[in-house]
Amino acid sequence: MIGVKVRVPAKLNLQLAVGPPRGDGYHGLVTVFHAVSLFDEVTVVPAGRDGIAVTGEGADRVPADQDNLALRAVAALRAAVTGAAADRAGVHVTIAKRIPVAAGLAGGSADAAAALVACNELWDAGLSGAQLAEVAGRVGSDVAFALLGGTAVGRGRGERLTPALAPALAPATQYHWVLAFADGQLSTPEVYATLDRLRAAEAAEPDLDAALMSALRSGDARLLGRALSNDLQQAALAMFPALRKTLAAGLELGALGALVAGSGPTCVFLAASAARALDLAVSLSGAGVCRSVARVTGPVPGAAVVPVAS
Ligand code: C5P
């Protein structure tokens, strides 16, 4: 085997409820993750020592050294596997980015998850999904979800996951989303810190939104649009006021719901159909309220090996 290529999706948070800061620098949260069809591709090949190259969307803003989350994931997996696989030499990781960097879409976490799946395969390490998820949880809060994909409830820092819908009950609904990418970035730790400052009183412990879960069970996009929520949005808007205009424009143009993606600054809009999403995307790009737009659908599966054409 020469190398392994893995495709991994971006995530949205359909709900992001943030509790008070914890002693360890993180916030307890309850979130509903949703994987969408915007993918990075990560390829690993054996090498004398670990190295990385990044191409594509925002590549110049991704650290191309040991600080890269994908290389940290490689090191974490190497430490977790025992026996022959643990002795493997280095790997060279190539990341082809389409998920914008520091955009609230967990692109860095996605690349880390992809690196875990790829090295597990390359080294024939045989870790189960649950074992990979445990390593992922140590690498970053959103990494475990990028392995799983679909729609899932995250607790703890976001790394403790349960599927949002029992498979037998899950309607085959595909939702149509429009992403509006901003001209700029937001730092996740700074957005969390701003939220702490903006909150006058100690935040309540976060809770799963029953209306959102009921909307997901019904598969009704109108109900889902009304139930979208993100506690980080007020902080992202305080730091990036132009996003107010973007959100307002999308709603004005007929989106069923609008919110900031994760810690931002990407804005997310839910459309009633593929045709409405196309209209919305065209109108939003014409309105001059964002850098560019993308149409995506969700849910999609998590990180998966791309078969190499023989
Ligand atoms: O886990 P990850 O490296 O993705 O988190 C990035 C930063 O986001 C953390 O260092 C922390 O400042 C903030 N964060 C948080 N609470 C979470 C997840 C992230 O405060 N549950």
The verdict on the CB of residue 78 being under 6 Å from ligand 1 is: no
Averaged pLDDT score across all residues of the chain: 94
Which atom number of ligand 1 is nearest to the Cα of residue 156?
21
Asked if the peptide bond before residue 206 counts as cis, ω within 30 degrees of 0, the response is no
Entry pTM: 0.96
Q: What is the pLDDT of residue 181?
A: 98
**5 noted as active-site residue:** no
H or E element in which residue 152 lies: strand 151-155
pLDDT of residue 200: 81
Calculate how far, in angstroms, residue 260's C-alpha sits from the geometric centre of ligand 1: 17
Ligand 1 pocket check for 26: Cβ under 6 Å = yes
pLDDT of residue 162: 95
**167: preceding bond cis by omega (within 30 degrees):** no
177 neighbors 36 (Cβ within 8 angstroms): yes
pLDDT range class, residue 168, cuts 50, 70, 90: low
Measured CA distances, 274 to 19, 221, 287 (Å):
35, 12, 20
Q: 50, 111, 142, 231: which one is catalytic?
A: 142
The conformation of residue 219, written as its DSSP 8-state character, comes to: T
Q: What is the pLDDT of residue 9?
A: 98
Q: Residue 241 corresponds to which tokens in the numbers above?
A: 């006021």
The pLDDT > 70 percentage for the chain reads 95
Q: Residue 202 has what pLDDT?
A: 86
- Let me know if 231 is a catalytic residue: no
203 lines ligand 1 (CB under 6 A): no
Mean pLDDT of the region 118-141: 96
Residue from 5, 11, 97, 231 carrying the catalytic annotation: 11
Check pLDDT > 60 for residue 171.
no
User: Residue 90: pLDDT band by 50, 70, 90 thresholds?
Assistant: very high
Token look-up 């959103």 returns 142
Residue type for 168, please?
A
* pLDDT of 310: 54
Nearest to 54 by CA among 11, 97, 2: 97
pLDDT digits (tens, 9 = 90+) for 40-63: 999 999 999 999 999 998 899 898
pLDDT at 91 over 80: yes
Alpha-carbon distances of 211 from 217, 218, 222, 246, 252, rounded to whole Å: 10, 11, 12, 25, 23
Cα 136 to Cα 152: distance, rounded to the nearest angstrom:
16
Checking if the pLDDT of 169 tops 60, the result is no
Atom of ligand 1 nearest to the CA of 157: 21
d(CA 242, CA 151): 29
State yes or no: pLDDT of 86 exceeds 80: no
Residue 188 CA, closest ligand 1 atom number: 8
Residue range 176-194, pLDDT digits in tens: 999 999 999 999 999 999 9
The atom of ligand 1 lying closest to the CA of 192 is: 20
pLDDT category, 84, cuts 50, 70, 90? low
Res 221 pLDDT > 90: yes
Stretch 272-288: mean pLDDT, rounded? 97
**Confidence grade of residue 85 (pLDDT, cut at 50, 70, 90):** low
- Residue 112 near residue 132 (C-beta atoms within 8 A): no
Ligand 1 neighbour 142 (Cβ under 6 A): yes
- Per-residue pLDDT, 228: 98
CA of 299 relative to ligand 1 center, distance in Å: 24
